[in-house]
Amino acid sequence: MDRRRPPRTEEGWYVLHDLRTVDWDAWRNAPDRERERAIAEGVEYLDAHEAVADADAGGSAVFSVLGHGADLLCLHLRPSMADLDAAARRFEHTALAGYTERADSYVSVTEVSGYMSEAYFEGEEVEDRGMAHYIESRLEPEIPDAEHVSFYPMDKRRDPEYNWYDLPFAERAELMSGHGEIGREYAGEVTQIISASTGFDDHEWGVTLFADDPGRIKTLLAEMRFDPSSSRYAEFGSFYFGRRFPPEDLGALLAGEPVPTGEGDASPHASGHAHGGAHGDEATGAHERAGTDGTSGGADDIRGELEELDVYAGQPHGEDVHAVVLYSAADPGTLGEEVSGLRESFEHYDTHVETAVYENPDGGDAAVVSIWETASAAETAGGFLADLPDVVARAGERADGHAGEESGFGTMGMFYTTKPEHREAFVERFGAVEDLLDDVGGHVETDLLVDRENENDMFIASQWRSREDAMDFFRSEAFRETVSWGRDVLADRPRHVFLA
């Protein structure tokens, strides 16, 4: 029998799942001074590793594990095995380690295989930007900012009837592709880190799943169990399930208090990843965004005010969608070609609604708008879109203003879809409103941007010195008349989204 061809692989970061049980009797009997020291040294260790102070890149996170298998899970990703080894041994030098025992551990490495992209291993440039970014994210993944984690090791079966390693490469690749299609249906809800462990540990792969809704992890795995790649060819080790908490809450966790306490960082799952970058302001409504002037301006408050003015500002649930908007100085035609490739990849996901390039007829920066059903999916898409050429800003980050003015509040009305016969009248009306805005106090800039593929689809982006300046205009008779007039020329009510 001919030897089957194994998939080629490229390895990325090394991974350690360090599972610990707490010696609760010893902890309860320890003097307060010793417990305080253990907590302080534990927090210092966890903080330093989440900030990746020990290496050039990577990520770390800590989780409270439910069930009998363990109490704590420390997850580390590092560029080298030496970095991983040092991280593990460094914990043993803390006072906290004296109150724990290792319940289990798993050593592995992230990888990309030929099942995913043969072209990648032929030395060819991966032209699909979405695939290129996906490959990078598989090799050097960020630990998602999600509440729950599920980890388990697995193998491919080798029995007389179903032996994975006896299958031809093409058949294995087809099975893996079908298996991946199921996972893509959960994009934005469940994020995975897959790592290989042949020669490193007792199984062949480690699977780490992250989600805010624990039920989605269960549903995903249940669906995958019926896929032939799992039902015929997969065998699983022990499962561990946990909840993430910030290092500062270690004391509360050991005291049996609910975590996260909310007393640490503004983001309880804030992580100091060396890989990846910060994004813009948090999501708020399309006709609303808490500004940099210090106003609180919650989404529901602004919705209520606008509703009183008979201005529709979306609903907090139901038809709301989420968007990421980036501005680029690149040629709109070139940008459109790049976005077209990404859009083809995005359309594999059920949570994707629309991605398009909008041109500024006055020659300003073009905008790329990607709309999704969930905020996490939009945020993930933002990572792909950030690699587009000549990106100059993300909506929510444009606070430089014009002519020396500072913009502290932005509004976005999406999407104005005009009836074809009224498009010209709508653009003329916008011009008149734009002239009017030049004389309105607190107004910095307003642009009308047009979808390159559908000239009847537009959105309006405005910058103001403050939220109150914007609300003063929304209360004006001129704005009320414009809204009333727009009902006759628009094909539908403007869509108001959240900016991720």
Please tell me whether residues 303 and 243 are part of one structural domain: no
For 151-190, what is each residue's pLDDT tens digit?
A: 999 999 999 899 999 999 999 999 998 888 898 889 889 9
Residue 66 belongs to a domain: yes
Active site residue 115: no
Please tell me whether residues 81 and 140 are part of one structural domain: yes
244: domain CATH number is 3.30.70.1030
Residue 3 belongs to a domain: no
User: What's the pLDDT score for residue 280?
Assistant: 29
**Active-site option among 45, 106, 120, 152:** 152
Residue 290 belongs to a domain: no
User: What's the pLDDT score for residue 121?
Assistant: 67
Residue 83, classed as helix, strand or coil, is helix
Please tell me whether residues 321 and 457 are part of one structural domain: yes
The answer to whether 480 and 424 are in contact (CB under 8 A) is no
Please tell me whether residues 208 and 318 are part of one structural domain: no
Q: Which domain holds residue 483?
A: 299-499
For 455-468, what is each residue's pLDDT tens digit?
A: 999 888 888 888 88
Residue 200 belongs to a domain: yes
Burial 371-404 (b: 16+ CB within 10 A, else e): bbbbbbbbbbbbbbbeebeebebbbbebbeeeee
Please tell me whether residues 306 and 237 are part of one structural domain: no
Residue 70 belongs to a domain: yes
Residue 471 belongs to a domain: yes
Please tell me whether residues 192 and 111 are part of one structural domain: yes
Domain stops at, among 254, 282, 313: 254
365: domain CATH number is 3.30.70.100
Rounded CA separation 328/390 (Å): 5
Q: Cα-flanking dihedrals φ and ψ of residue 481, to 5°?
A: -65, -40
Residue 30 belongs to a domain: yes
Residue 94, classed as helix, strand or coil, is coil
Query: Closest Cα partner for 369 from 357, 360, 386, 351?
Result: 357
The answer to whether 499 and 314 are in contact (CB under 8 A) is no
User: What's the pLDDT score for residue 283?
Assistant: 28
User: What's the pLDDT score for residue 1?
Assistant: 58
User: What's the pLDDT score for residue 335?
Assistant: 92
Number of domains, the chain: 2
pTM of the predicted model over 0.95: no
User: What's the pLDDT score for residue 308?
Assistant: 63
Please tell me whether residues 160 and 215 are part of one structural domain: yes
Please tell me whether residues 246 and 330 are part of one structural domain: no
User: What's the pLDDT score for residue 290?
Assistant: 29
User: What's the pLDDT score for residue 119?
Assistant: 65
Below-70 pLDDT ranges, the chain: 1, 117-131, 263-320, 395-408, 414-415, 493-500
**Helix extents (H) in 210-322:** 214-225, 228-231, 250-254, 299-308
Please tell me whether residues 330 and 248 are part of one structural domain: no
Please tell me whether residues 312 and 244 are part of one structural domain: no
Rounded CA separation 354/346 (Å): 9
Query: Closest Cα partner for 499 from 313, 318, 322?
Result: 322
Please tell me whether residues 331 and 240 are part of one structural domain: no
